[in-house]
Amino acid sequence: MTRAAYDTVAESYADLVRDELDGRHLEHGLLATFADRVSSGSVLEVGCGTGRITEHLHRLGLEIAGMDLSPNMIEVARREHPHLRFGVGSMEVLDAGDSSLAGIVAWYSIIHTPPQQLSAIFAELHRVLVPEGLLLLAFQAGNERVRLEQAYGHSVSYDAYRLDPDVVVAILVEADFEVDVRVHRAPMGYESTSQAFLLARKRTS
């Protein structure tokens, strides 16, 4: 359902979100903080879509690749950012070894996962991160499932979940992450919900 929806909207999505970070100083600050704190090593954007955040973090100096569920989103990402590496896959089962990544970004990509499945996702992200490796999450805050029938100018049918930041923090802690930064801001512009950002770190066992 999610993959088919993003395959449908891929071209329009790229055009509509390309400049979305412009003037968003908080988001710029969070991404810069993440980039500063990932000192060295490989970084993966899971659910990278058409690659705008992968590109942004690459320009901040990170050695970064992107992966996404939707082959059409990846096709656009490869076309728009030919100097970066992108792959098709699911964050449920990552094609990466244990303790192999210095950082992971999930920028509005856990929003299609039912909350009860987040612990399995976080366990997989935890597996591939090095000890002290960083995880940056962005998502719409709330506590509801929304059925989307229209998106980016297309008829689609898929679900998005507004997630309670307290619940996401609790699931992260349960999955052996320490949450270092927690930001919750009011809606801006066209947004209908507040937005949450979490920077977490894999605990050293």
Ligand X SMILES: C[S@@+](CC[C@H](N)C(=O)[O-])C[C@H]1O[C@@H](n2cnc3c(N)ncnc32)[C@H](O)[C@@H]1O
Residues in contact with ligand X by CB under 6 A are 2, 6, 17, 46-49, 52-53, 68-70, 73, 90-92, 107-109, 112
Smallest distance from ligand X to CB 196, Å: 14
Give the residue with the Cβ less far from ligand X, 114 or 205.
Answer: 114
* Beta strands in the chain, from DSSP E residues, in sequence order: 42-46, 63-68, 85-88, 101-107, 129-140, 144-151, 154-162, 177-185, 195-202
Smallest distance from ligand X to CB 204, Å: 27
Residue nearest to ligand X (CB): 49
Give the residue with the Cβ less far from ligand X, 110 or 200.
Answer: 110
Smallest distance from ligand X to CB 139, Å: 10
**58 burial via Cβ count (<10 Å: 0-12, 13-18, 19+):** buried
Give the residue with the Cβ less far from ligand X, 41 or 87.
Answer: 87
Give the residue with the Cβ less far from ligand X, 6 or 122.
Answer: 6
Q: Which residues contact 8 (CB under 8 A, 6 or more apart)?
A: 72, 154, 156
